[in-house]
């Protein structure tokens, strides 16, 4: 049900390469109306673009006397527009690649679904998956809601300009939020399939350990069945890794621009927090509460993205490596099983799952923590610049 909600949001925002019908993407003549709708939607985003930078925000708002606030406002808008356009261009110029990726992802999920034997382990996994998907859906809607409400709190005598600005910002914000949520969901679905593979591998290990303790030899049937299952799991794991790398390659530029947008937004939010804290900006209790929820939703979204990227890269390899080591002491299995196990281990060792953003830096938890600390450094620089301006004004 939660995945259906995500799918509906993707269709409404024009973020799907094509609608689905009975597990298949619509192509040819049936796709025409969706392409027309997407073109109109993207045309609307272009139409409201000039209203993103209204004059009253610079001359008749709380930031009119603070050049740093104006700078962060401009930079936040520019990075959001860049991220939005990366998604728009991706939809039009790489639609065929997105369709191929979607079909391969659906086929991979169908293969992994056959591993589910409705045991307690798989039920627990499904509950965890529903919990994370619910968080993604909740934080996306919460971000849009509190972002819209905070925009309405900006005072202005120019009502028409304010309405146009709010419309432009909300439409762009909705598009960017669900674009980031969509990428997170795709990666999380692949992580879900990887977790299913790990459960199946644990079950195989448990079965062979049981046979090791209670039998002198492993029957031909059981040996062949175990070898076949290990080979199948190896094939599915390699396919999962290949799909993860394909997702990162396809969405490399949008992810890079989304991270840049998150960094600038982070600086903007923390700096606003400092301004609210020292009462440089006049505000009410209601606006303070809204501001706190904006910060919470932003960091919640960032943590979800950070965790899902870490899960499909570093943690996935570590977990699979630990599971493969549990087979090393088995003696009843045949030589073919050990050879297949070595192939699995060599593949894991030679094809580590790491993601370099545009080939510049590895995106993992350590990088994310360094990014948060760097935001604080930037805010301290801005605060010092702000204090210097105030001293000059007094003199």
| Radius of gyration of the chain, Cα coordinates, nearest whole angstrom | 25
Residue 384 has pLDDT above 80, yes or no: no
Q: Tell me the per-residue pLDDT of 297-321, one tens digit each, with 9 for 90 and over.
A: 888 888 888 888 888 888 888 888 8
Q: What is the pLDDT of residue 188?
A: 92
Of 32-36, 181-185, 355-359, the range with the highest mean pLDDT is 181-185
Mean pLDDT of 335-364: 80
Question: Alpha-carbon distance 35 to 46, whole Å?
Answer: 16
The C-alpha angle with vertex 133 and arms to 288 and 314, in degrees rounded to 5, equals 100
Q: What is the pLDDT of residue 220?
A: 67
Q: What is the pLDDT of residue 190?
A: 92
- Least trusted range by pLDDT, from 152-156, 214-218, 335-339: 214-218
Residue 278 has pLDDT above 70, yes or no: no
Q: What mean pLDDT value characterizes the chain?
A: 81
Residue 212 has pLDDT above 80, yes or no: no
Mean pLDDT of 78-98: 89
Of 263, 248, 249, 255, give the one whose Cα is nearest residue 78: 263
Q: How do the domains of the chain map onto residue ranges?
A: 1-393
Of 229 and 67, the structure prediction assigns the larger pLDDT to 229
Percent of the chain exceeding pLDDT 70 equals 84
Residue 88 has pLDDT above 80, yes or no: yes
Q: What is the pLDDT of residue 189?
A: 92
What are the Cα distances from residue 305, in Å, to 180, 217, 299, 308?
A: 8, 48, 10, 5
pTM of the model: 0.87
Residue 390 has pLDDT above 60, yes or no: no
- Residue 357: strand pairing partners: 361
Residues in Cβ contact with 243 at an 8 Å cutoff, skipping those fewer than 6 apart:
101, 104, 105, 108, 190
- Residue 21: strand pairing partners: 24
Mean pLDDT of 340-347: 82
Cβ pair 379, 271 in contact under 8 A: yes
């Amino acid at each position: 049900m939660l995945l259906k909600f995500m799918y509906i949001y993707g269709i409404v925002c024009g973020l799907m390469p094509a609608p689905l019908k009975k597990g298949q993407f619509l192509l040819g003549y049936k796709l025409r109306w969706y392409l027309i709708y997407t073109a109109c939607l993207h045309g609307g985003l272009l139409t409201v673009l000039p209203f993103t930078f209204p004059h009253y925000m610079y001359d008749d708002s709380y930031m009119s006397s603070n050049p740093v606030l104006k700078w962060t406002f401009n930079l936040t808008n520019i990075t959001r527009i860049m991220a939005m356009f990366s998604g728009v261009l991706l939809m039009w110029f790489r639609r065929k690649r997105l369709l191929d990726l979607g079909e391969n992802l659906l086929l991979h999920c169908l293969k992994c679904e056959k591993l589910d034997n409705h045991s307690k382990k798989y039920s627990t996994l499904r509950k965890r998956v529903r919990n994370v998907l619910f968080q993604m859906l909740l934080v996306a809607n919460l971000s849009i809601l509190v972002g819209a409400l905070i925009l309405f709190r900006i005072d202005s005598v120019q009502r028409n300009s304010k309405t146009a600005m709010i419309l432009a910002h909300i439409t762009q914000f909705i598009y960017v939020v669900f674009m980031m949520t969509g990428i997170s969901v795709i990666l999380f679905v692949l992580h879900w399939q990887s977790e299913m593979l790990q459960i199946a591998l644990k079950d195989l290990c448990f079965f062979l350990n049981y046979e090791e303790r209670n039998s002198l030899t492993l029957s031909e049937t059981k040996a062949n069945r175990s070898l076949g299952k290990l080979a199948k799991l190896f094939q599915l794991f390699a396919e999962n890794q290949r799909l993860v790398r394909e997702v990162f390659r396809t969405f490399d530029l949008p992810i890079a621009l989304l991270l840049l947008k998150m960094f600038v937004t982070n600086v903007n939010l923390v700096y606003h927090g400092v301004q609210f804290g020292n009462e440089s900006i006049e505000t009410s209790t209601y606006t303070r509460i809204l501001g706190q929820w904006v910060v919470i939703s932003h960091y919640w979204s960032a943590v979800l993205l950070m965790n899902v990227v870490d899960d499909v890269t570093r943690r996935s390899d570590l977990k699979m490596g630990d599971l493969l080591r549990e087979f090393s002491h088995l003696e009843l299995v045949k030589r073919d099983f050990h050879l297949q196990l070595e192939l699995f281990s060599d593949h894991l060792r030679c094809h580590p799952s790491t993601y370099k953003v545009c080939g510049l830096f590895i995106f993992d938890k350590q990088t994310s923590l360094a990014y948060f600390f760097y935001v604080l450094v930037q805010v301290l620089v801005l605060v010092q610049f702000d204090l210097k301006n105030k001293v000059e004004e007094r003199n």
